[in-house]
Amino acid sequence: MTTILLIEDHAPLRENLREMLALEGFRVLAAENGHAGLELAAREHPDLVLCDIMMPGMDGHEVLQRLRATAATKAVPFIFLTAKGTPPDIRAGMNLGADDYLPKPVSRNDLLKAVRMRLERAKQQQRFTPNFDDPKPLEKLGISPREAEVLLWVAQGKGNQEIAEILGLSVATVKKHTIHIFEKLGVESRTAATLRAVEALG
């Protein structure tokens, strides 16, 4: 059974999210703060972590940093739950190694879609073992450093709007880079570009 660690200090929301996930067949471990969450992560080795950002004592950014600094949890998919949905906040979380973010309040459909997509991507990464930490290897595909940054996020399933927020660009600029990437790689779709990227990062 797939295990999800939920770290959320607001009790009603924590219980609501726990119930949503449990009804879909997930084993849900719930923690009320960052310290308790890290203890559960070390003991239970969850398949995915859902974590609030704004928490007393230890915020979500510190939780993520500690998980990424530990070998056993370094590669666990991590999704932020946040009321802070501004572009700088999103970029800060992504730069720390978050896989995704969900603004609160989150709908059941958005929650389940994000969780399933990240779990599936984790399975793919285990098969292909690409390293998404650094865009530089993508430059050997004949694209510029900035295009490599865009392709890195395309390969992780991000849309143009999300990539724009993460990289601090306009959507139009991201779209232009994406068109250039497709032309240089000789592909016509994001899926095809992702396959090329995964091969280069593997």
- Beta-bridged to residue 47, according to DSSP, are none
The pLDDT value given to residue 199: 85
The pLDDT value given to residue 84: 67
Q: Which helix (H) or strand (E) holds 200?
A: helix 190-201
Residue reference for tokens 């880079």: 177
Overall CATH class of domain 3-128: alpha beta
The pLDDT value given to residue 185: 94
The pLDDT value given to residue 98: 87
* Residue 19 burial (10 A CB sphere; 0-12, 13-18, 19+): exposed
The pLDDT value given to residue 191: 87
The pLDDT value given to residue 123: 82
Quote the CA–CA distance of 68 and 79 in Å, as a whole number. 13
The pLDDT value given to residue 127: 62
Residues carrying CATH 3.40.50.2300, the chain: 3-128
Residues carrying CATH 1.10.10.10, the chain: 136-201
The pLDDT value given to residue 131: 79
For residue 74, give the DSSP letter.
T
pLDDT in tens, the chain (202 residues): 899 999 999 999 999 999 999 999 999 999 999 999 999 999 999 999 999 998 989 999 999 999 988 888 988 999 999 886 667 777 777 777 888 888 888 899 999 999 999 998 888 766 656 778 889 999 999 999 999 999 999 999 899 999 999 999 999 999 999 999 999 999 988 888 998 998 888 7
The pLDDT value given to residue 82: 84
pTM of the model: 0.66
The pLDDT value given to residue 20: 95
Quote the CA–CA distance of 150 and 34 in Å, as a whole number. 31
Domain 136-201 belongs to what topology? Arc Repressor Mutant, subunit A (1.10.10)
Residue 72: other Cβ atoms inside 10 A = 10
